[in-house]
Every structure is written in C-alpha cells, then in structure tokens.
Amino acid sequence: MTAWGRGPRTRHIVWDWNGTLLADNHAVLAAVNAVCSEFGRAAITLDEWREMFSRPLHGCYERLLNRRLDHDDWVRIDSLYHERYRDLLGECGLAAGVPHLLHDWAAAGGTQSLLSMWFHAELVPLVSELGLAGLFTRIDGLRVDLGGGSKTEHFVEHLYAQGLDPADVVLIGDVTDDAHAAHSAGANCVLVTTGIMSRSALDSTGAPVVDSIPEALSLIRRESAA
C-alpha cells in the first residue's frame, strides 16, 4: 500500500457506487458474459474480467471479443450489458460496512457525496430506495445515453458544483479511473479491491489500496490525524 501525499485533514469523501458502495460483481459478470455469448466468445470468470477491465470500455471490449467494434457493435454491446445488469440489479446489496460507517463519518462532522458512472436517472431512485440519499450532499450519475468514458471530467464538475477544495477531498473507488480522476483534480484517492479490477492494476496507480470500506475509512482517519 502506497501512502498518499500529505495535505489538510480530509473533510469530504466522494464515493464511487458500483463495486464500491454497491456489491454488484455477480451482476457485472453476468452482463459481460451476455455480451460474450452474443458475440460468440466463451464465458469468462470474475478474475479474468478483473485482469482485462480497463477504460475506455470500447477498447476493453475489443480485447475481450478479439475484434474491431464499430458504432453499431458498441450500441449493441451497451444494450446487451445493461439489459442483463438491470435484470440482476435487485439482487445486489450494499458493501460491508454500509451504511453504518457512512453514518459514523457524518456524525464525526465529515461530509460526503456520490459520483457514479451509472445512469443518473436510475442511480438516484436506487440510492433513495436503499436509504442512503440523505447521507450525501450531492448525487451525480452519468447523464448521457451511452456509457464508457473517463470519470475525470465528471469528478472535476462534481467538486466544482459543491465548491469543494480538492485538497480536502478523498475519492474512494474500485478502478484505476478513480485514481486518475482524483490525481487530475488534485484530490487524494483510496482504492478498494471489492470491484472489477485486479489488485495489481490498482497498485499501479500509486494510490493506497485496501480490501474493504472499513479499511479505507480507517486509513483516511489515520492520514488525517498524522
């Protein structure tokens, strides 16, 4: 685990959703394998997807399917993936430590918000249904019809909309794109291994890598107190 740069005490956490607060790996894998089946590719395991996953997703799926993908292919992949994922979304629960550790953070005076690459119109009601909406100062999801882009621009806009100083912020996520977004904005980041990316890929970012949300919050408290 690599220590982040020293700075002011962390005042605000930006949470990722899929694979971080939401334990949805089984739904993700089923959705990926629905795409594999449609394109004549053998099903893969979660560990194989973790080794392969990267952004931008278009290139990731070209490697997965071993073929060039045109616009129509990508639209079909996006549709297949999300159709199967939505079928299983109701079976997904919250990660270990959620929501009580988020309540503890708020009770100690910290603020927090949610930034996801899941579609905004579906994210907000789901977060509300799971009883988390009141914990967040802002909830932002993807506001376009076709997913797969970088998180950096969305993260910068998310901070700006709340008037947050990046130096006061830690982004907690489960993929390398989270670390890149935080670094680009001047914020810190903690990555958790609970999602869809291999530990070796997460370690390559130089961000601290832990195995759970409780560990992530413990690290943030230790770094803030140092």
Domain ranges, ordered by start, for the chain: 12-23+93-225, 25-89
Q: Within 13 Å, how many C-alpha atoms sit on residue 196's CB side?
A: 26
Q: Give the pairing of strands 22-23 and 93-94.
A: antiparallel
Contacts of 86 (CB under 8 A, 6+ apart): none
Does residue 25 carry a pLDDT above 80? yes
Confidence class of residue 56 from pLDDT cuts 50, 70 and 90?
confident
Task: Report d(CA 69, CA 38) in Å as an integer.
Answer: 13
Domain 12-23+93-225: CATH class, spelled out: alpha beta
Partners of 119 in the β-ladder: 142
Residue with tokens 């739904």: 27
The burial class, CB within 10 Å (0-12 / 13-18 / 19+), for 30 is: middle
Give φ, ψ of 148 to 5 degrees. 120, -5
pLDDT for position 73? 96
- pLDDT of residue 76 exceeding 90, the answer is yes
Least confident of 62-76, 119-133, 144-158, 172-186: 144-158
Of all residues in the chain, the percent with pLDDT exceeding 70 is 94
Residue written as token pair 């770094």: 223
Nearest in space to 224 (alpha carbons), one of 167, 155, 165: 167
Closest alpha carbon to 172 in 11, 17, 5? 17
In this predicted structure, the answer to whether residue 123 has a pLDDT above a threshold of 90 is yes
Share of the chain above pLDDT 90, in %: 87
Confidence class for position 3, pLDDT limits 50, 70, 90: very low
As a whole number, mean pLDDT of residues 108-126 equals 95
Distances from the Cα of 135 to the Cαs of 14, 42, 88, 114, 125, in angstroms? 12, 41, 25, 9, 14
- pLDDT digits over 130-151, tens only? 999 999 999 999 987 665 567 8
CB-based contacts of 159-165 (< 8 A; 24+ apart in sequence): 159/14, 159/185, 159/187, 162/12, 162/113, 162/137, 162/138, 164/12, 165/8
Given a cut of 90, whether residue 4 has pLDDT beyond it is no
